[in-house]
Amino acid sequence: MSNELQGTSLKRSVVSYAGVPVQSSRLQLDFKSIIPALSLFLLVLLSGIMLISQSILQPVYWISCLLLSSFIGTNFTTLITKQSFEWSSTLILISILGLYGGIELLLLAFSFRSWNNDSLTWLKTSLQSFSKLNSLILLAFIIIISSCSLCDLPSLPLVAVTVVVTLLFFNLLLPIILATTIKLTNVINHKQKSTDKKELI
């Protein structure tokens, strides 16, 4: 571009680039800079949930559900609103989802630990009470995010919609994943016990 301005009255002008492609490229570069910190947060959260729940596979499923819900919520919102995230809104979004996901999964880990010896009983008795607690937490977060969206920041409404959609997906997917993985684990354990009994006979 600077070569094209040579010999004109604009030859000493400062050239700047703008537009959606430039914003997307800048956002990608900025996001790559926080990937190490984000990975460290997920690793610490996963380790803490594993220690509390005394399980290895279940926390992996829960974290995967949170990441999948975040991916679905972000893409769904950008597809519907046809708006792109700014760097500041991305940081706010990651902070809110990390805080909510951490609180909910830690509570789930404490609940799972108390019924670790009988996961099917825990699944039947705890999901209903846990869903009520999740509903209260979700309602509180929706109210907070809705209040923040009234501030004079153009990116906050987009963040608010993304958070609400992501949390709705998360609270829909998590019970399905819990029921599927726990029942599958119990079926596998039952088959292993049956095989061991046959070998002893």
**What Å distances lie between residue 142 and 127, 138, 185, CA to CA?**
21, 6, 34
Q: Which residue has 């009234």 as its token pair?
A: 150
Q: Of the candidates 141, 139, 135, which has an alpha carbon nearest to the alpha carbon of residue 160?
A: 141
| pLDDT at residue 69, rounded to an integer | 92
pLDDT value of position 51:
92
What's the whole-number average pLDDT of the chain?
73
Q: Given a cut of 80, is residue 60 above it in pLDDT?
A: yes
Residues 71-120: pLDDT tens digits?
998 888 888 888 777 777 788 888 888 888 888 888 888 878 776 556 66
Model pLDDT, residue 55: 83
Q: Which of 10-24, 25-39, 115-129 has the highest mean pLDDT?
A: 25-39
Average pLDDT over residues 5-34: 54
